[in-house]
Chain A
Amino acid sequence: MPLPHPPPRTPGVAGARLFASLPPPPPSPLQSRREVHVWYVCPDELNDRSQLDMYMDLLSPSERNNALSMNGPRLQKDAMLSRALLRTTLSRYSKIDPRSFDFKKNKFGKPEILWRSDDSNMEWPLHFNISHTSSLIACGIAMDVPIGIDVEEKKRKTTKSILSLARRYFTPSEVEFLAKIADSDAQQKEFIKLWTLKEAYVKALGRGFSGAPFNRFSIQLETNSRIQISKAPKACNDSDSGDYLSENWRFALAELNSSYYMAVCIEDNSRGFENGPVPLGLKVWKTIPFIEDTLVSGTDAVKLIT
Chain B
Amino acid sequence: MAAITTGSAVSFARPAKASSVSSVSFAGLRKDNVAFPLQPATQRFTVLRAAKQETVDQVCNIVKKQLVLAEGTEVTGSSKFTDLGADSLDTVEIVMGLEEAFDISVEESSAQSIATVEDAAELIDKLVAAK
Contacts and interface: CB of A to CB of B under 8 A. Distances in A.
Given A70-B85, A75-B85, A210 B96 contact: no
Interface in A150-180: 150, 152, 156, 158-160, 164-165, 168-169
Interface SS of chain A: helix, strand, loop or mixed?
A: mixed
A225 interface: no
Interface residues of B, number: 38
A209 B19 CA distance: 12
A65 B96 contact: no
Contacts of B70: 72
Tell me what chain B mostly uses at the interface: helix, strand, loop, or mixed.
loop
Given A75-B85, A132-B87, A208 B19 contact: yes
Interface stretch (A88-96, A102-110, A250-258): A102-110
A152 B68 CA distance: 17
Contacts of A71: 9, 69, 73-74, 79, 83-85
Contacts of B103: none
B66 A105 contact: no
Contacts of B73: 71-72
Contacts of B20: 107
Interface residues of A, number: 38
Nearest to A70: B83
B111 A209 contact: yes
B7 A69 contact: yes
B27 interface: no
Contacts of A72: 70, 73
A32 interface: no
Contacts of A103: 2
Interface of B: 1-9, 14, 17-22, 65-66, 69-70, 73-74, 79, 83-85, 87-89, 92-93, 96-97, 107-109, 111-112
25 contacts: A60-B2, A62-B2, A62-B3, A62-B4, A65-B6, A65-B7, A68-B7, A70-B85, A71-B83, A71-B84, A72-B70, A75-B84, A75-B85, A104-B1, A108-B19, A109-B22, A133-B87, A159-B65, A159-B93, A165-B96, A168-B92, A169-B92, A208-B19, A209-B112, A210-B111
